[in-house]
Amino acid sequence: MQSGQLKRRELIVLLGGASAWPLMARAQQRTMPVIGLFGVATAATWSPWVAAFVQRLRELGWIEGRTVAIEYRWADAQSERFGR
């Protein structure tokens, strides 16, 4: 009878440990810095400046999607949208 209990305990420990692996893997992942870019106009209006900004970041070693994330928000000439 005890051997059955031991196997059950081993199984529970094994399953418990296996369920922690995804959490440990996620905890070891490095998070990427995020830059928030807010524009009052539209994305099309700001595209030359955004391209220059991204190019300068690249020159400094920050590559969008690889070493830094950039989140863009456009107000489309509606400044009240920034209040959100």
Residue 58 is predicted with a pLDDT of: 97
Q: CA 32, CA 14: separation in Å to the nearest integer?
A: 33
Residue 14 is predicted with a pLDDT of: 53
Q: Which residue has the higher pLDDT, 77 or 29?
A: 77
Q: Is the pLDDT of residue 25 over 60?
A: no
Given a contact cutoff of 8 angstroms between Cβ atoms, the answer to whether 38 and 31 are in contact is no
Proportion of the chain above pLDDT 90, given as a percent: 44
Global pTM?
0.58
Q: What is the pLDDT of residues 38-79, one digit of tens each?
A: 888 899 999 999 999 999 999 999 999 999 999 999 988 787
